[in-house]
Amino acid sequence: MKASKDSVVEFHYVLSADGEQVENSRDAGQSLHVLLGRGQLIPGMEKALLEHEAGDAFAIELPPEEAYGLRQEGLTQRVPKKYFQHAARLKVGMPTVLQLKEGGQRVVVVQKVGMTTIDVDLNHPMAGKTLNFDIELLNVREASAEELSHGHAHGPQAEAG
């Protein structure tokens, strides 16, 4: 069957940017299971998957607008070190995860390390980049009622979330 909104797709991907490999789901040893139509993937990837069916292997190139967006200026923020999990290990240019006061977390890039604070760029590390994906679509199936009510796919193992 062809992937559509409310399908669960299982796929492997290799992500490259600026000619270098950034991520390979096979290295992680696990394919991704995603419920389409819920904004869980970047827009261009979701759109591309909708055209395909199980067994398809294809390459897509996504401009920033279809991926993590354009870089925005003025998104530097000075944050006390206590909000970082491993503040002592952080160096300029490193991506890290910032715990937000209002809950949740966000990937940021270190711009400057001070005595008690760290300046971070709130742009996503992949913002402004054209991304290349090699995708192998392994399986397409209809979402279960439970998955639809949760708003996400359940993987091969039973999952409580």
| Shortest CB 48 distance to Zn ion, Å | 25
CA neighbor of 58 nearest in space, from 2, 6, 11, 24: 11
Q: Which residue is nearest to Zn ion (CB)?
A: 150
| Shortest CB 156 distance to Zn ion, Å | 14
CB nearer Zn ion, residue 37 or residue 95? 37
Determine the interface stretch with Zn ion among 10-18, 32-40, 59-67, 146-154 (rule: CB under 5 A).
146-154
CB nearer Zn ion, residue 12 or residue 150? 150
CB nearer Zn ion, residue 103 or residue 161? 161
If binding means CB under 5 A, how many residues of this protein chain bind Zn ion? 2
Give long-range contacts, CB 8 A cutoff, 24+ apart: 102-110.
none
CB nearer Zn ion, residue 88 or residue 158? 158
Q: Does 161 bind Zn ion (CB under 5 A)?
A: yes
CA neighbor of 24 nearest in space, from 10, 14, 34: 14
| C-alpha to C-alpha distance for 52 and 1, rounded to whole angstroms | 9
Q: Does 150 bind Zn ion (CB under 5 A)?
A: yes
CB nearer Zn ion, residue 39 or residue 161? 161
| Shortest CB 150 distance to Zn ion, Å | 3
| C-alpha to C-alpha distance for 51 and 68, rounded to whole angstroms | 21
Site of interaction with Zn ion (CB under 5 A): 150, 161
